[in-house]
Amino acid sequence: MTDASGGGDAATVEALRRVKSVEAEWDRRLAEARREADEAVRRAHDEAEAALRAVVAELEAERARQLEDARKAAEREAAGIRQDGERAAEAVRSGKGRRPEDRADEIVAAVLGPLAGD
């Protein structure tokens, strides 16, 4: 009877060793899969951050270009307004830009001028 139970114990021990070996193999495979998944997530995160930095840099460059274009347009408009103001000031100084009511004396003199000479 000892032989029968001894053989059974050996088979059980061998079965337990195989189970333990399979568990160890699966633990190793799971650990490797976790490392690979973690590495894939890290790579995806790094790629996403790099893409985001590139987009931000591109948008900042575009913003700078648009600000420069707006500044140039504002300077052109200001120069035009300044020129219009200078022309209007010159017209006022020369008497050409005033309203007729402001030039009443000149108009009367121009209309009655020929009569005043007689």
Residues 62-100: tens digit of each pLDDT: 999 999 999 999 999 999 999 988 888 887 777 665 666
Q: Kindly report, residue by residue over 18-43, the tens digit of the pLDDT.
A: 999 999 999 999 999 999 999 999 99
pTM of the entire predicted model:
0.49
The boundaries of the domain holding residue 100 are: 2-116
Distance, in Å, from the CA atom of 17 to the CA atom of 23, rounded to the nearest integer, reads 10
- Residue tagged 């799971």 (tokens): 30
Q: Which region, left, alpha or beta, applies to residue 73 given φ > 0 means left and ψ of -120 to 50 means alpha?
A: alpha
Residues 95, 103 contacting (CB under 8 angstroms): yes
Contact assessment for residue 1 and residue 9, using Cβ atoms and an 8 Å cutoff: no
8 A C-beta contact, residue 12 and residue 20: no
If one counts the domains in the chain, the total is 1
